[in-house]
Copies of this chain bind each other. A is one copy, B any other.
């Protein structure tokens, strides 16, 4: 039994690394733990999976990111809610979700690895949008880029229909799943966008179902 063995509802644990990657590639935000003066904080942050690591970026003025850059133990949890499970009892009602927990310590990237890390973040968070200006030296100096290895992790996936106890099956009440969908809306141009610049074709091929 390791720290990432799922003890509660172990039937929901998924061991396949491909399923982990699929969730991480569908999500936009991770929630990271940072312990400061005995108080744990949970900090939401955009991230990108790059092979077998997570890339994160934040400000050099952020206390939380400075602590993470120091290599304190952290946990990055990534969750997507896919629906609500309506059972015939409150107890069996639940949610469809995918949730990954990654334990470890971040490493700060500097120099060329930092530049490459930021490029990988841009490619994942802004796919196909190649015309934006990469960071200047001053912007790089204000940015912390961290890498968290996908070494110690667990994945829990809850799906399927409600699992009611037999005695409840005769109740005159609806049961099933109400899916929750995450979709891109129509792009809204900036008010100061120059005339004659169309919405990039790439936006239409952004991964559906991201959350």
> Could you tell me if B190 and A175 are in contact, using CB atoms closer than 8 angstroms?
yes
> Could you tell me if A89 and B180 are in contact, using CB atoms closer than 8 angstroms?
no
> Could you tell me if B42 and A42 are in contact, using CB atoms closer than 8 angstroms?
yes
In the complex the two chains form, what is the Cα distance from A87 to B31 in whole Å? 24
What is the interface residue range for chain A against chain B?
35 or more
> Could you tell me if A122 and B93 are in contact, using CB atoms closer than 8 angstroms?
yes
A51 at the interface (CB under 8 A from B): no
Among the stretches A14-22, A106-114, A125-133, the one at the interface with B is A125-133
Q: Tell me which of B73, B79, B84, B174 contacts A197 (CB under 8 A).
A: B174
> For the complex, would chain A's binding face be called helix, strand, loop or mixed by DSSP majority?
mixed
- CB closest residue in chain B, given A185: B179
A157 at the interface (CB under 8 A from B): no
> Could you tell me if A95 and B211 are in contact, using CB atoms closer than 8 angstroms?
no
> Could you tell me if A77 and B184 are in contact, using CB atoms closer than 8 angstroms?
no
In the complex the two chains form, what is the Cα distance from A95 to B176 in whole Å? 34
Most buried by B among A34, A126, A136: A126
Q: Which residues of B contact A178 (CB under 8 A)?
A: 184-185, 187-188, 203, 206
Name 17 A/B residue pairs within 8 A (Cβ), A-sorted. A8-B62, A31-B42, A38-B73, A44-B77, A44-B79, A46-B95, A81-B211, A88-B132, A93-B122, A129-B174, A169-B194, A174-B198, A175-B192, A176-B189, A177-B187, A181-B183, A181-B184
